[in-house]
Homo-oligomer: A and B are copies of this chain.
Amino acid sequence: MKTAKPVKHVVIEDSFWKKYKQVVAEEVIPYQWKALNDELPDTEPSHAIENFKIAAGESSGEYYGTVFQDSDIAKWLETVAFSLRDHPNPALEERADEVIALLGRAQAEDGYLNTYYLLKEPNNRWTNLRDNHELYCAGHFIEAAVAYYETTGKTKFLHIMEKYVDLIQQIFGTEEGKRKGYPGHEEIELALIKLYDVTAKNQYLKLAEYFIEQRGQHPIYFEEERENRKQIQTEPTWNDDNNINFGLGFEYQQAHKPVREQTEAVGHAVRAVYLYIAMADLAAKTGDASLLKACETLWDDVTNRKMYITAGIGSSVNAEAFTCSHDLPNDSMYCETCASVGLAFWANRMLRLAPDRKYADVLERALYNGTISGMDLDGKRFFYVNPLEVNPFQKSRKDQEHVKTERQKWFFCACCPPNLARMIASVEDNMYTQTEDTLYTHLYIASKVNMVLSGQKVEITQTHHYPWDADLTFSIHVVEPTSFTWALRIPGWCKQAEVKVNGETISLHHLEKGYAEIQRTWNDGDVVTLHLAMPVERIRSNALVSMNQQQVALQRGPIVFCLEEVDNGENLAGLRLPKDSLITEEFSENLLGGIVKLTTEGYRVKGSPTLYSSEPPELVSQQITAIPYYAWCNRDKGEMRVWVYES
């Protein structure tokens, strides 16, 4: 296994991502802080901070919110931790310190820390792992604690969480007297491996391994747990009705079989990818080839059979779940923002395991499309569900009520906005991985970074206007000539790439898993230029995707485009893009924060007086305008469509 470690401390100078990171720092973090404190008018109350105050004995009242309300605070803290790296803010850091102190005061004597159970069912801890998210919330707090420690060097949060994890490992395990449980919503597994990374304490890796390996062992733990619940006083949950797990059985939680036997992505999409991340992380630590194989098989299944062109996943609102291969409805799907964020995180982990552009291509697809579509350009409104089509009939369709046609201010179940915020705040962590003597460049984001390669300090600067411009420049600074391999990803979407080192063209005949590997002794001031031709491509789906027949999606570089009613009028389904039409690209600085806009001459099928007719359809000329998918619904509300009929 050729594992590589992530390169940290990249400083972003990129016009695209700097803006997003600034929005997170200046809008999203303060906005979400207000949400957590119920200070937003006209939105669902959160009560998340208040729950902790009550648990700490500093306020009175009752618990309110979902069973995983705590995790919103965790994701906020994690976002803050990431954001402080490039947006230092002493007042914000002080506020975070105060929240962490509050967590400490709310924590039980024995380390337990979950406000739902502390306040609502103090005697019923660990009795409903299937539904009640205790381990999930713990996982998010662990991730936040690790991030906060890495940014600030402060250990208090880490200690709070270590104390909690110490309790958890007393409760769970295969040893006599312990519960053989594991989370109904995966998350703690990957968090424990992060905790292991910063503490080097093997027990955390072991606990993660236990949770991963125990999953899906028969008899299924959740069955036993349900039986045991009959002995205690507890309220039925949403999942206790006749349709347990939305009719999906234990596939819903990926607990239907042991993880190595799982060859198809099933069940709740966010749960699934969080598990797959942890499996990849564990494989990277242990070198377990069978676990790596399982990750690769699942990756193939998700990305070659169950992923939207936007990197959305989860075809069904029922259980927010994967369905079968090639079932990719564009209007009734789920495509939760969290799921695409999770997919990006998974791709990041696969890149550490085995550098291969197939992972980076999906990572990039997720980053530039189906994740950031979940937020408007000024960071004030959010999509939970990311449709690829908004049709005129949607308003009359109960089966599409979950699909909102405009972003919302906040959600009762507010998992997506903070998840997206933490992804954006840490986007630079996805750019590079390295071994001792090889640097892998996965993403092109204008930035500067320092690292040690072959024992020498190396600084790399990326200068460009990606994803809009095709020409990228990299400059190398070394203290003394240093020999290392620089692997530059040639994106899968790029059919014509050119790499030059100090003006001299490098042959790209032999790419290594999609990477141009330049092995040489680098001198200070060396310049690498990369040309990634990015003409507009007409992308077609596999013939088995019945809903995308005879339609194309426009893609330029990593950006997937869409049509909006505000540019193209009503009934976007009735537009026709001629097979040979010339598509004009134009960078519009003042449109939607600066985008490349596409225009072309196309047609519109003229309406007929009758519903059915044997007359050939009449076409009238119409200009067709496409904008990046991520930027849709930032102007007038209306129809939207990614896949367009070709004629």
Residues of chain A at the chain B interface (Cβ within 8 Å):
246-247, 303-305, 307, 309, 316-319, 323-324, 326-327, 332, 391-393, 395-399, 493, 495, 537-547, 549-550, 553, 555, 571, 573-574, 604-617, 645, 647
Q: A537-B614, A542-B613, A550-B647 are in contact. List 6 more A-B contacts (CB 8 A).
A: A246-B398, A247-B398, A304-B609, A323-B393, A327-B397, A546-B573
Closest 10 CB pairs of A and B: A546-B573, A327-B393, A318-B398, A543-B605, A323-B396, A324-B396, A543-B574, A537-B614, A550-B550, A304-B611
Residue from the set A307, A493, A542 with the largest chain B CB neighbour count within 10 Å:
A542
Output the least CB separation between A600 and chain B (Å): 16
Please give me the residue from chain B that is nearest to A391 by CB atom.
B546
Cα–Cα distance between A647 and B579 once the two chains are bound (Å): 12
Given A324-B392, A397-B323, A645-B550: A613 and B543 within 8 A (CB)?
Answer: no
In the complex the two chains form, is A396's CB within 8 Å of B327's CB? yes
Pairs across A and B, CB under 8 Å, 9 listed:
A323-B396, A326-B611, A393-B546, A495-B614, A537-B614, A539-B614, A541-B611, A543-B607, A550-B647
Cβ contacts under 8 Å, A493 to chain B:
614
Cβ contacts under 8 Å, A323 to chain B:
393, 396-397
Residue from the set A553, A605, A614, A647 with the largest chain B CB neighbour count within 10 Å:
A614
A607 contact from B303, B332, B542, Cβ within 8 A: B542
A543 contact from B539, B549, B571, Cβ within 8 A: B571
Cα–Cα distance between A319 and B545 once the two chains are bound (Å): 29
In the complex the two chains form, is B612's CB within 8 Å of A395's CB? no
Cα–Cα distance between A355 and B349 once the two chains are bound (Å): 71
Cα–Cα distance between A253 and B262 once the two chains are bound (Å): 48
Given A327-B396, A399-B316, A549-B573: A309 and B612 within 8 A (CB)?
Answer: yes
Cα–Cα distance between A418 and B73 once the two chains are bound (Å): 60
Given A393-B326, A550-B645: A545 and B399 within 8 A (CB)?
Answer: no
In the complex the two chains form, is B611's CB within 8 Å of A324's CB? no
Cα–Cα distance between A615 and B332 once the two chains are bound (Å): 27
Cα–Cα distance between A317 and B397 once the two chains are bound (Å): 10
Output the least CB separation between A106 and chain B (Å): 35
Cβ contacts under 8 Å, A546 to chain B:
391-393, 571, 573-574
Output the least CB separation between A484 and chain B (Å): 33
